[in-house]
Structure 1
Amino acid sequence: MTPAPKKTTTKTKTTTPTPQPSMETMQTATNESSIALDDPKAMRALAHPLRLKLLSELRITGPQSVGELCGVVDAAPGSVSYHLGVLAENGFVERAPELARDARETWWRARHAWTTVEPADADAPPEKRVASRALRHGILQAYVAEASAALEREETLPSEWVGAATSGDAVAHLTASQLAACSDELRAVAAKWAEIGSRPGDDTAPVILIYQAFRKA
């Protein structure tokens, strides 16, 4: 079954914090806060699982060097550099040369804080419909991977963090307009807590909010 949300808005969140530059130089995104994807080429580029991880890491943790990213995503420098180049070609990331401490380092930053993906219209070109579906499948798989990893981490976390987390589902009989209103409310809740937790603190940790709402049949 393929979810068909009205809109997918994602940071593609797959991160592990690493040492960062000072807050004076760190920027999660440099230009507009959101990018709305309409180009099938860009959709196909972002659908790759490693590129989703790299973009997520840069958006959530901030600018990083290729070496730091290699440690986070467990990939070789050549592979990481190649996939960052593809992301750059499609406008998702850019180099951050001012952060390099020597000529051997290559630093990158995300250009936007969020990606918005709309399901392609029924009359859209086949290439766009296929690319949109492939990207949304990739994002969904990233969500599943995050939730699975969270289960594996439970034994290593303090009990208060395990108890504070939640997951669940519900089935409601709604009209299309009611589903749209529900989706708007879910996005508003996520945006509220993202704003509250927009800056790391001494007793905070990265928390992922994943939500889906779609017609079941």
Structure 2
Amino acid sequence: MTEQPRQPQPRKVHHLDARTLRGLAHPLRMRLLSSLRLDGPATASQLAARLGESSGATSYHLRQLAEYGFVEDDPGRGKGRERWWRSVHQGTWTDEDLIRDRAPEVQGALSTLLFEYATQRAQEVTTWIATRHEWSQEWGEAADTSDFTLDLTPELASELSHKIHELVDSYRESPPEEGAPDAAKVRVHSHVFPTRPVTADDI
């Protein structure tokens, strides 16, 4: 009997609006959600141990995340009063309407969100650098921490971002076979932003 190739499951993405943005824009809530997405379902106590927080704090912020639709109970786990949580979605999308919204509370929440994303991504890269000796030579050669500088218009920068997303999504459509040797969950970071040249006034 020929084994059928694994088919990727449709990826559920949470599209933020002004309300859910404010519900997510808290450093601990963002770390909790990231942990559930990357490491799988967990209890408030397990998440507290993972993140170095108190179980009271993780429990409170998990309930807040549930109120805004980011996490939910995992009915297949837990016994008695033990409550397991899982992420409802695999990703979060910030719509352009939020970027255009000039309301101070929206822009404040968006800044909190982006600063925390930057912090988390920097931590992921430094963790890789600190632990790269634990990985195989093949992974050491495959990993990449490049950066590039291009001259673009906003339209070209948007086109570049969309092409990067399409390329990443194409790899979701052909995941490695289950049990493939040396397969690992890979994090891919993408940052596209303008910069200003240094002038004599900055020196």
Task: Tell me how far apart the structure 1 counterparts of residues 137 and 101 of structure 2 sit (CA, whole Å).
Answer: 51
Match of 2:16 in 1: 37
Please tell me whether residue 174 in structure 1 is matched to residue 173 in structure 2: no
Q: Structure 1 residues 118 and 216, CA, compared in 2 at 3 Å: closer, same or farther?
A: farther
Kindly provide the amino acid, as one letter, of the partner of residue 53 in structure 1: R
- Indicate which of 64, 68, 73 corresponds to 2:46: 68
Please tell me whether residue 115 in structure 1 is matched to residue 131 in structure 2: no
| Runs of 4+ displaced beyond 6 Å | none
Structure 1: state its 5+ residue gaps.
1-28
Please tell me whether residue 164 in structure 1 is matched to residue 109 in structure 2: no
Q: What count of residue pairs does the alignment treat as equivalent?
A: 186
State the identity %.
30
Task: Tell me how far apart the structure 2 counterparts of residues 109 and 198 of structure 1 sit (CA, whole Å).
Answer: 24
TM-score (norm 1): 0.75
Larger RCO (CA within 8 A; separation ≥ 6): 1
Q: Structure 1 residues 123 and 79, CA, compared in 2 at 3 Å: closer, same or farther?
A: closer
Match of 1:11 in 2: none
- 1:53-91 deviation per Cα after TM superposition (whole angstroms, max 9, x unaligned): 221222233322334323332333222212211211211
- Preserved contact between residue 37 and residue 116 of structure 1 (Cα < 8 Å): yes
Please tell me whether residue 191 in structure 1 is matched to residue 169 in structure 2: yes
Structure 2: state its 5+ residue gaps.
1-8, 197-203
Shift of 1:167: 1.2
- Indicate which of 121, 127, 136 corresponds to 1:143: 121
Task: Tell me how far apart the structure 1 counterparts of residues 71 and 42 of structure 2 sit (CA, whole Å).
Answer: 11
Please, what is the CA RMSD of the aligned residues?
A: 2.5
The structure richer in helix per residue is 2
3-state SS, counterpart of residue 196 of structure 1:
coil
TM-score (norm 2): 0.80
Pair member with larger Rg: 2
Shift of 1:121: 4.4
Shift of 1:116: 0.7
